[in-house]
């Protein structure tokens, strides 16, 4: 046994009565009541006892009850000196009871002290206290030596078993508390992850649409200030209206995705490419079921890549290739380049960063950069 085991207190969960089950609490109280009843009955059984002895016995019983209550409180708080002092008061009360002829209460008190010390004190203090209590018990016990020996060993075993049982209950309570804390942390983490996912959806769906609308509306305002023709202003307003309609459609698709009601991936990509002036979709590999996260990542990356094409190279030819590869799915969006559009300055520049973050959260990767005369975005995520 290590030095730490000798100096370690039983845990507060083990010493706290609040951690007991209702049935165990009732049994403990019943045993205590029986012990007190035995002590009182044995003290009053002697009909020749004087009034002084009876009054003194009652006073001693009250002192022992108060000392026992305080002992339980001090051991729960892990305060060694007060605990040992209170246990000494109880042992002294047993000696006083023996001196006035109350042998049975004295024996009961010493036995209770021996068992309780082993159960609630650090072993380096419990062993001497138990030895003192059992030594007093052996000194005045009139039974055969074999009975006394068996009783002494039995009380030692009872105290140590109660200690181990209390420690086991305390460990179970701590593990239960840790499990509850872990579940609560997991729920909070899931909530934060869901908020982050919704935030990405909001950005992917609305950011570019709204920024493009702002560009068109700002251009319309400038044209109005310059007294430009109605047709030029009308074109800007119509373009902003188209952006708003497209943003509304994308918002509806995002809400459907959040509810788990998504159109097939290939169909969605074809609808998305159909908005471009010149585009095609190619699907290769053996189709397999995709997780909701992987499917949503492919959709949003395709949407973001095509939006960037409309902003930076309007009119460019777009080729979208979706490849099923068993454990991974790969999406490549390429354009053949073109002159920068007037919307190239729109947005805050978080598009590629958001796409890369979405891929890395799923354990995948995203690469974007120049390709031949144009630009290519390549996403690879686990299915």
Q: Does 236 fall in a domain?
A: no
Residue 357 lies in a domain: yes
Establish if 98 belongs to a structural domain.
yes
Q: Is residue 95 part of a domain?
A: yes
- Number of structural domains the chain divides into: 2
Q: Last residue of a domain, which of 117, 142, 167?
A: 142
* pTM more than 0.75: no
Q: Is the pLDDT of residue 333 over 60?
A: yes
CA torsion sign, 339 to 341 to 347 to 348?
Answer: positive
Q: Is residue 293 part of a domain?
A: yes
Q: What's residue 118's pLDDT? A: 86
| In-domain check, residue 8 | yes
Q: Is-contact 94 106, C-beta < 8 A?
A: yes
199 assigned to some structural domain: no
Domain boundary among 142, 163, 196: 142
Between 94-103, 139-148, 339-348, the lowest mean confidence (pLDDT) is in 339-348
> Minimal CA–CA distance to 347: which of 231, 223, 209, 230?
209
Residue range(s) defining the domain that contains residue 90: 3-142
Whether residues 8 and 138 fall in one domain = yes
For position 382, which CATH number holds?
3.30.565.10
Neighbours of 98 (CB within 10 A): 19
Is residue 213 situated within a structural domain? no
Give the pLDDT band (50/70/90) at residue 222: confident
Question: What stretch of H or E contains 333?
Answer: strand 328-335
Report pLDDT digits (tens) over 180-193: 888 888 888 877 77
- 7 plus 136 within the same structural domain: yes
Average pLDDT over residues 273-286: 80
Single residue among 121, 142, 163 that ends a domain in this structure: 142
Cβ neighbors of 256 (< 8 A, separation 6 or more) are 262, 263
């Amino acid at each position: 046994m290590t030095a730490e085991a000798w100096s370690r207190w039983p845990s507060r969960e083990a010493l706290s009565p609040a951690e007991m089950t209702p049935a165990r609490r009732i049994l403990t109280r019943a045993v205590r009541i029986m012990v007190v009843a035995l002590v009182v009955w044995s003290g009053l059984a002697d009909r020749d006892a004087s009034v002084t002895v009876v009054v003194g016995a009652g006073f001693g019983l009250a002192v022992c009850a108060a000392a026992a209550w305080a002992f339980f409180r001090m051991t729960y708080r892990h305060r060694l000196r007060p605990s040992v002092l209170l246990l000494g008061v109880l042992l002294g009360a047993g000696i006083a009871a023996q001196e006035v002829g109350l042998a049975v209460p004295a024996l009961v008190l010493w036995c209770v002290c021996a068992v309780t010390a082993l159960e609630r004190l650090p072993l380096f203090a419990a062993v001497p206290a138990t030895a003192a209590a059992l030594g007093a018990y052996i000194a005045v016990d009139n039974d055969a030596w074999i009975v006394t020996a068996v009783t002494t060993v039995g009380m030692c075993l009872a105290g140590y078993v109660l200690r181990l049982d209390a420690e086991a209950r305390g460990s179970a309570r701590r593990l239960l508390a840790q499990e509850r804390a872990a579940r609560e942390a997991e729920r909070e983490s899931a909530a934060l992850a869901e908020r982050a996912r919704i935030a990405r959806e909001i950005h992917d769906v609305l950011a570019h649409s709204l920024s493009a609308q702002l560009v068109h509306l700002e251009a319309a305002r400038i044209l109005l200030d310059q007294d430009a023709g109605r047709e030029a202003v009308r074109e800007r307003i119509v373009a902003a209206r188209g952006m708003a309609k497209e943003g509304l459609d994308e918002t509806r698709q995002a809400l459907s995705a959040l509810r788990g009601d998504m159109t097939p991936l290939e169909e969605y990509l074809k609808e998305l490419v159909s908005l471009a002036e010149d585009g095609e979709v190619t699907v290769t590999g053996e189709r397999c079921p995709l997780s909701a996260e992987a499917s949503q990542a492919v959709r949003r990356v395709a949407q973001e890549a095509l939006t960037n094409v409309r902003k930076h190279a309007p009119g460019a030819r777009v080729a979208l290739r979706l490849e099923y590869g068993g454990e991974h799915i790969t999406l490549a969006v390429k354009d053949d380049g073109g002159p920068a559009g007037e919307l190239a300055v729109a947005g805050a520049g978080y598009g590629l960063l958001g796409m890369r973050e979405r891929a890395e959260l799923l354990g995948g990767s995203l690469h974007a950069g120049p390709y031949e005369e144009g630009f290519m975005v390549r996403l690879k995520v686990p299915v």
